[in-house]
Amino acid sequence: MLQAFLSDARLLELAARYHTPLYIFDEATIRARCQELKSCITYPNHRIRYACKALTLQAVLRVVLDEGLWIDASSINEVHRALRAGFNPSEIYYTGEGATKEVYRDLIDRRILINCTSIDQIRLLGSLKTAAPLRCSIRVNPGEGHGETNKTNTGGPSSKHGIYLDQVEEARKVAASHGITLIGVHSHIGSGTDLAHWLRIKDKTLAIARGFPDLEFVNLGGGLPVRYHPDDERMPLQEWGAALSDSMAQFSKELGRDIRLLIEPGRFVVAECGLLVAEVQSVKSTPDYNFVIVNTGHNHNIRPAMYGSYHPIRFIPADGRPAGETKPHVVAGYLCESGDVFTVKADGTLLPRDFPTVAVGDVMVMSHVGAYSHAMKSEYNSMNLPASLMITRDGTVTVVERRGNLNDIMRRELEAYGEGRVSM
Ligand SMILES: Cc1ncc(COP(=O)(O)O)c(C=O)c1O
């Protein structure tokens, strides 16, 4: 989809006009993913919440809002960004590890539903004075997880997330002692979860939820896989949606009341909507490797360096020359970090890929960077943040976030010294 609007000539033009590095996001892809999800869950009492930590730009939140999705937020600032984009408080759900009293106060005052992730957080909630009776859900760790690596695994004994299943009973007692009604059970075991695993965790979560007398909903989390690499399996979404729908219909029948199903995908909604565009600054070699150095790095997409994640990469010759001989190259960033490499395994082993001759000035196009790339960006090495463009449904290009500059990097410091703008 993204490619339909973006010929190589157009990409070169956008790179020249808006500077590199540059993020480009595609509205049509986000809408297509939302619609795909909506079409495969037939159980009527369900809601899809977009886990907005994946990509939190206002332009993206507004598209998701227009598609009728709700929001899963992981910080108070994500909550405020969602409110600003137009979501109602009742459409936002908060799951944050280690929230402070001030955060919970703000959430309660705004009537935003809290998902407590530990027994201590239930106690914290119970300590707050409120006019209305307190209600919340709890995040449970169902005893097993899933993820590309241990770093993305959010369940099982090695995970800090949620209340471990053997402590759920204690959580219920603590909630009851504070007069808190537990209305939901939530689990999220990690990203890239396959169908069989998803369905097993669904069963485990429903088994836990069965013991909650005031249960109104079950939230089965996110983690729907995305095909980053051509060898990655596709999730059979229709089968997945049908299995969830059947289970929930049966569960509601068994409990004799209508229990709402929630899911909260992040990457599935946005991963494929994004490109990271950069310029080749150098092509060099050691006795063992050819390196292509581009003017971006793990400050703009940390996934390869952090998880060894694969992202499709190609180069557009700036001079229109025909593709030359193919050679293996390691694609690396411009940061002063050895780990600033895009073609790499999680343990740091370099993974050269074959590319036709690459030259200085060529434009690198890295795809599938919609999720957890822009969202995890940093100003490391005092590098300016890229601008973000949105290609709207009719192909119009809109700047949805301007390029960063030195003033952005130093703003809070300058305020601390009572100084004004820096010269650029
Ligand atoms: C609680 C929770 N829900 C949903 C998600 C979204 O996961 P994904 O982007 O893999 O769908 C995450 C991701 O970290 C999460 O922590």
- Domain assignments of the chain as residue spans, ordered by start: 2-8+271-415, 27-269
Closest Cα to atom 4, ligand 1: which residue? 222
φ, ψ dihedrals at 232, nearest 5°: -65, 140
Find, among 396, 307, 377, the residue nearest to 25 by Cα: 396
Output the six-digit token pair for 390: 């949105």
φ, ψ dihedrals at 211, nearest 5°: -85, 10
Cα–Cα distances in angstroms (integers) from residue 150 to residues 27, 191, 267, 305, in the given order: 32, 11, 18, 14
Identify whether 336 is a catalytic site residue.
yes
Q: What does the pLDDT read at residue 76? A: 97
3-class DSSP assignment, residue 153: strand
CA–centroid distance, 160 to ligand 1, in Å, is 14
Average pLDDT over residues 161-168: 91
Longest dimension (CA), the chain: 73
State the burial class of residue 197 (Cβ atoms within 10 Å of its Cβ: 0-12, 13-18, 19+). middle
Instruction: Report the nearest atom of ligand 1 relative to the CA of 139.
Output: 1
Distance CA 283, CA 190 (A): 37
Q: Whole-model pTM? A: 0.95
Find, among 55, 21, 15, 12, the residue nearest to 333 by Cα: 21
Closest Cα to atom 10, ligand 1: which residue? 223
pLDDT tens, position by position, 232-258: 988 999 999 999 999 999 999 999 999
Taking residue 294's Cβ as centre, other Cβ atoms within 10 Å add up to 27
What angle is formed at CA 293 by the lines to CA 289 and CA 299, rounded to 5 degrees? Answer: 120
CA–centroid distance, 322 to ligand 1, in Å, is 42
For domain 2-8+271-415, is the CATH number 3.40.50.300?
no
The confidence band for 189, taking pLDDT boundaries of 50, 70 and 90, is confident
Instruction: Report the nearest atom of ligand 1 relative to the CA of 154.
Output: 16
Distance CA 146, CA 331 (A): 29
Closest Cα to atom 12, ligand 1: which residue? 222
| Ligand 1 pocket list (CB less than 6 A) | 51, 54, 72, 95, 154, 188, 191, 221-224, 264-268, 371
Q: What does the pLDDT read at residue 418? A: 85
Q: What does the pLDDT read at residue 1? A: 56
CA 395: distance to chain centroid? 25
Average pLDDT over residues 333-346: 96
CA–centroid distance, 74 to ligand 1, in Å, is 9
Peptide bond into 21 cis (omega under 30): yes
State the burial class of residue 322 (Cβ atoms within 10 Å of its Cβ: 0-12, 13-18, 19+). exposed
Distance CA 60, CA 375 (A): 12
Is the pLDDT score of 384 beyond 60?
yes
Which residue among 34, 116, 273, 336 is the active-site one?
336
**CATH homologous superfamily, domain 27-269:** Alanine racemase (3.20.20.10)
Output the six-digit token pair for 68: 């009728």
